[in-house]
Amino acid sequence: AMRGNSIGYLEMRGVNGTNVADLTPADARAIRAELDAAEIAVWSLGSPSGKTQITSDFTPELERFKRLLQTADITGAKCIRLFSFFIPENEDPAQYKNLVLDRMGLIAETAKQFGIGSDRAVNYHADSKGTAVIYEAMSEVVCNVRASRPMSEEWKRSIDEDYKKRG
């Protein structure tokens, strides 16, 4: 159906009931072979990384992210969706800022080892305006990918500008 609608790329979140973060390298290779045969490429992994409590042990999360990087490498995905952890209810998020930044830094360093650069990461204001800016930018990226056009090097310019302008 995808090729019939001129869609040559997909964001992979799961396959046959298995979350993308839980795929083995053998699973990823089999999926890649099927997609190659159908002339469909994976542009992004829609991972659950970061959807854990900030107070939880980070070691299993980092190991899961390493598996995602292997899956991205095998499938050819150039992007991995990330989240920035859940803050305990009724607690001041500011007290967790450094821990979140430390963990995201470890994720970025780990990604570099697999050839994924920081040019795919953004800072943004998590308010209605910042969310609108990021959705607009990502909408353009998704439209380009769905039309089999490459991701522009300028994809995050409006997000960066909004972040810098509003401090």
- Round to whole Å and give the CA distance between 35 and 10: 10
Q: What is the pLDDT of residue 131?
A: 80
Closest-CA residue to 86 (of 76, 96, 78, 71) = 96
Identify the pLDDT of residue 104.
86
CA distance 152 to 29: 28
Does this model's pTM top 0.85? My answer is no
pLDDT at 112: 82
Count CB atoms within 10 A of the CB of residue 117. Answer: 10
| The pLDDT value given to residue 146 | 67
Name residues of the chain where pLDDT drops below 70. Answer: 117, 146
